[in-house]
Structure 1
Amino acid sequence: MKEIDYDQVEEAARELYIRALKLLPDDIKDGFGKLQGLETSERARTILNTMVTNIRVAEDNNNLLCQDTGIPIYNVFVGRAVAIDGWRLQQAIRKGCERATREHPLRSSVVHPISRKNNHTSCGPGVPVIHMEFVEAPDTLEIQMIPKGSGSENNSFLRMAIPAEGLAAVKRFVIDCVIDAGGKTCPPTIVGVGVGGTSDLCVHLAKQAATRPLGSVCEDALGAELERELSEAVNRLGVGPQGLGGDATAFAVHVELAATHITMNPVAVNMQCHSARRARASLGAGGIEYSF
């Protein structure tokens, strides 16, 4: 069995938070290029150009892409031959998250939900959010970090549709959510759609979809077709960059599915803003390897 170095986990959690806030993944940069080439509105092209400039300036000056440091989310992928102490793993991630906030330093966006007290650690009850997933690859231990800002997270929606309403209800709900969000999500967005499961699983699927790399496709053939149809429909709405009109409302619509009950068909929407930040680390005997 592969043993885990928890000091390495802590360091990865720290560095991932900082990297995610400063470096935009290449697939998102490529997505901007595609939208710029397709945009027909002069004002929208100007806004897209300003966003691209912001990305370049942030990287050139080792600065943040956005002042909102978000809710820290860590997705952990554990291989079959990896032995972990789950509690120690969680504590190492939490400590790394706190160190990133204090040592960098970052603005902490995390507060107590009732008192609104901010401990300036980016941590609190239930935060950072840590998801564990067990994968087939034997020696894999990977950590993905996603800082989810409030502009995108506030535009989260769930509808417990019924099967009699059909797929049309799913499509209509997604379109209505994008219209309702307007410019509040700082478009162009990645629109994540979850279909099926239970209410909580459906919302989780929507967030997984929203944070998938651009160019990835739903593994389910029907889900992939729904992605294609919704991506075309959303970019005909005219919301445009920052909600000021244009063709570039979304980089893409991503869909994730789960089996559900015969009497229900949940659908959820979660959006990712144009600064679609994420970072990934692979941990092994050779040290930590960072990527997106």
Structure 2
Amino acid sequence: MRTIQVEQITEAVAQMCKEAAYYLPEDVYQALKKGRETEESPVGRDVLDQIIKNAEIAKAEDRPICQDTGMTIVFVEVGQDLHIEGGSLNDAINAGIAKGYTEGYLRKSVVAEPLFDRKNTQNNTPGIIYTEMVPGDKLKIEIEPKGFGSENKSDIKMLVPADGVEGVKKAVLDIILHASCNPCPPMVVGVGIGGTMDKAAYYSKRALLRPLTQRNAHPDYAKLEEDLLEMINKTGIGPQLGGTTSALAVNVEWGPTHIAGLPVAVTICCHATRHSKREL
């Protein structure tokens, strides 16, 4: 049985929060540069130039890529042979979020109650934490700061099996067309298929963590990703002001579902598709 102290978790999460806010992942940065090379619209190319320059300044100066530093989504894999000592896992993670957002001068965007008084918690906690037990004695943490300009345009469709592949494509494209330029494209689109309504949404969030150059291991879903990306890039939404680079990638994750169901969730992320990970 391996032991880890909660202070180690808190410190790791704090650093991850700052890294994710300052440093665009290399695969996303390279996808933006590739999009700049292939973008057909002069205005679109100019917008991509500004997006790329913004990411470079943020990295060089340790400044947030975007003023909306998001609500922190945390995916945790806990080895069943690991003992966490000194407090609870969730408390340690939330302490790390508070530390990272305070030390990093990141905008605190979380309200404690969603409808009536909407009082800001002043430290961006609590995070949205998903925990899974796995074999081994390691602790894997991935964080995904999610801005709400794009989150607000995400959606879910409860299809039936008869809708099939074409129904899934239509559902995804309808959501993207409704979102239009509001999520600060070029977007990265996470699609979750299967499970229940909530599980499909979980899959769509997890999909955003996969490298943009890595297609789904299942060939049919890999083909679906390619088809959806082509469809989205034909919409003309482009990099905020129109063009041919509406999305950088479409990542699909899927899971088992009920015989009567075909849930499809779409989580849209803006061009600042931020994430960070650690294994402790």
User: Which TM-score band (shorter chain)?
Assistant: over 0.9
Q: Distance in 2 between matches of 1:101 and 1:190?
A: 24
Q: Distance in 2 between matches of 1:229 and 1:148?
A: 26
Who is 2:73 aligned against?
73
Structure 1 residue 3 displacement after superposition: 0.8
Deviation string, structure 1 residues 100-128 (Cα, Å, up to 9, x no partner): 223333221001212110121101xxx21
- What is the identity percentage for the equivalent residue pairs of Structure 1 and Structure 2? 39
Cα gap change, 1:76 to 1:273, in 2 (>3 Å): same
Structure 1 pair 86/246, CA: closer, same or farther in 2 (3 Å)?
farther
1:123-182 deviation line (CA, Å, top 9, x unaligned): 1xxx2111112344x243221111100011111111111112221111001111111111
What letter is aligned with 2:238?
G
Show the counterpart of 1:272. Answer: 269
What's the TM-score once normalised by structure 2's chain length? Answer: 0.95
**Is 2:133 the partner of 1:144?**
no
The number of aligned residues is: 278
Trace 1:1-150 onto structure 2 (pairs within 5 A).
1-84=1-84, 88-111=88-111, 112-114=113-115, 115-123=117-125, 127-136=126-135, 138-150=136-148
Match of 1:247 among 227, 244, 248: 244
Deviations 1:52-79 (A, max 9, x none): 0001111122211000011111111223
Aligned-residue offset at 1:27: 0.5
Q: CA RMSD in A?
A: 1.6
Extract unaligned runs of 5+ from structure 1. Answer: 284-292
Does the 8 Å CA contact 1:147/1:278 hold for their aligned counterparts? yes
1:149-228 equivalences under 5 Å are 149-228=147-226
CA deviation after TM superposition for structure 1 residue 205, in Å: 0.8
The residue type paired with residue 190 of structure 2 is G
Q: Letter of the 1:132 partner, please give it.
A: T
Residue 211 of structure 1 contacts residue 272 of structure 1 at CA under 8 Å; is this kept in 2? Answer: no
SS of equivalent residue, structure 1 residue 27: helix
- Decide whether the 8 Å contact of 1:101 with 1:120 is kept in 2: no
Alpha-carbon separation, structure 2, partners of 1:76 and 1:210: 15
For residues 215 and 156 of structure 1, the distance between their equivalents in structure 2, rounded to whole angstroms, comes to 22
Q: 1:86 to 1:252 in 2, by over 3 A?
A: farther
Note the residue ranges of structure 2 that are not aligned, 5 or more in a row: none
